[in-house]
Amino acid sequence: MVRQHVARSGKATQRICGRIRFAFPLAYPPILVIGEDYWVAFLAGIVQGIVEWLPISSQGNLALFLSLVGTSPEVALQLALFIQIGTTLSATIYYWDDIASAFRTLPSWRPATAFEGPNAITTFVIVASLATGVMGIPLFLFAVDAVSELAGGLFVALIGVLLIITGIVQKASEQVELGGRTKPTLLDAVIVGAFQGLTILPGVSRSGTTVSVLLFRSIEGAAALRLSFLLSIPASLAAGALTVLRSGGLPGVTPLGALIALATAAVVGFATIHLLMRVVKQIPFWLVCFGLGGLAVGGGLLMYWAMQPAI
C-alpha cells in the first residue's frame, strides 16, 4: 500500500511538472541530482523554510520544486517529508521555553489539571497527536489512494476561503468572539488533531488546516499559530523518521546534501516564524487572516490548475 501511494503520488507530480513544462517550456532547467548538486539542497531548504508555516501544502510545493530540478517524483516526495525535519528544528528552537517548561512540569502532571497552567500545552500536543494518528493512519492505509492532488488543491482553496471569512467576521462584528482564548481544551485538542490527520491526504496544508480550526474554536490568533507550530514538531518528526525507515537511509541525498538542506531549512524556517509572529503582534489579525487566506486560495487554485491535463 505504501509503495502504491508513493507510485501514485509520483505519477501525479509528473503530471504537474508536465503541465508546467507545457506552459513554461523555457523555464524547465536541466536534470540535476540533489545528492551531487549542493545548490539544489540549499534552495530546497529555502523553499521548505518559507512554505512550511504558510497555508499552502509545503510537501506538495517542495516535491514540485525538486521534481522541476530533475529529481525523480518518487524521491522528491520522500525528500519533501525528510527536509521537514529542518523546520521542526526551527519550531523546537523558537518555542524551546514552552517545550522545556512542559518537560519540567511532567512529574506533577495530573488528569484533573491536564488543561491548566503549563500542563495545557503538553496535554494539547499529546492528545492532538494521538487524534492525528487515529484519523491519519487509516486514511494513509485505505483512503489516500482514492484522493487526488486535484481534490487536495480544492481543499486548500476552501481553507483559504474560511480564513478570509474569519477575517471578515472579526472586522465586521465585535460581538462575535472569535479569537478570545489562549488556552486549549480537551475538545480543541481532539478536533484539531483529527483535522491534522486529514492533512495526510495529497496537497492538503497542515498549518492552514490546524490554524483555521483553532481560529474557529475561538483561539486567539497568535496563540493559534503557536499551538499549530508546536503541534507540527511530533508530526514532522514522525513523518521524517518513517521516510528514512521506508527508504532504508537518506532518501536520494548524500549526507552533506542532507546537512545543507536541513540546516538551511532550519535557519530560514526560524526567520520565517519570527517574522510571521511579529506581523501577527503588530497588525490586526483580520488582516493576517486575509493575507493567509489569499495565499491559500491562490496556492490551492494553482495546484488545481497544475493538475489539469495539458492540451
pLDDT per position as a tens digit, 26-60: 333 333 445 457 888 899 999 999 888 877 777 77
Total-model pTM:
0.71
pLDDT for res 215: 84
Secondary structure of residue 14 in the 3-state scheme: helix
Q: What is the DSSP string of 89-148?
A: HHHHHHTHHHHHHHHHHGGG--GGGTTSTTHHHHHHHHHHHHHHHHHHHHIIIIIGGGS-
According to the model, what pLDDT value does residue 272 have? 92
**Tens digit of each residue's pLDDT (9 = 90 or more) over 195-224:** 988 877 666 778 888 888 888 888 888 888
User: What is the arithmetic mean of pLDDT over 80-107?
Assistant: 90
Report the pLDDT value the prediction gives residue 62, as an integer from 0 to 100. 79
- pLDDT for the residue numbered 26: 34
Asked whether 121 and 113 are in contact (CB, 8 A), the reply is no
- Least confident among 149-153, 154-158, 294-298: 149-153
184 phi and psi angles, rounded to 5 deg: -80, 160
Q: Is 170 helix (H, G, I), strand (E, B) or coil?
A: helix
Report the pLDDT value the prediction gives residue 94, as an integer from 0 to 100.
94
Please tell me the distance from the alpha carbon of residue 252 to that of residue 195, in angstroms, as a whole number.
31
Write b or e for each residue in 115-145: b if 16 or more Cβ atoms lie within 10 A of its Cβ, otherwise e.
beebbbbbbbbbbbbebbbebbeebbeeebe
User: How would residue 179 be classed by pLDDT, with cut points 50, 70 and 90?
Assistant: low
- Residue 105 pLDDT exceeds 80: yes
d(CA 266, CA 63): 18
Residue 60 structural domain:
2-307
In 3D, which of 228, 225, 156 has the Cα closest to residue 189?
228
110 confidence band (pLDDT: 50, 70, 90): confident
Lowest mean pLDDT among 142-146, 244-248, 263-267, 279-283: 142-146
Residues of the chain with pLDDT > 90: what percent?
19
Highest mean pLDDT among 15-29, 166-180, 202-216, 291-305: 202-216
Arithmetic mean of pLDDT over the chain: 76
Q: 55, 208 in Cβ contact below 8 A?
A: yes
**Average pLDDT, stretch 268-288?**
83
The Cα 80–Cα 267 span in angstroms is 17
Position 7 confidence tier, pLDDT thresholds 50, 70, 90: very low
What share of the chain has pLDDT > 70, as a percent? 71
Q: For position 220, what pLDDT does the model report?
A: 84
Which one-letter amino acid corresponds to residue 272?
T
pLDDT of 141 > 90? The answer is no
Residue 101 has pLDDT above 70, yes or no: yes
* pLDDT band, residue 242 (cuts 50/70/90): confident
pLDDT band at 292 (very low <50, low <70, confident <90, very high): confident
Number of domains the chain is built from? 1
For the ranges 4-13, 69-78, 243-252, the lowest mean pLDDT is seen at: 4-13
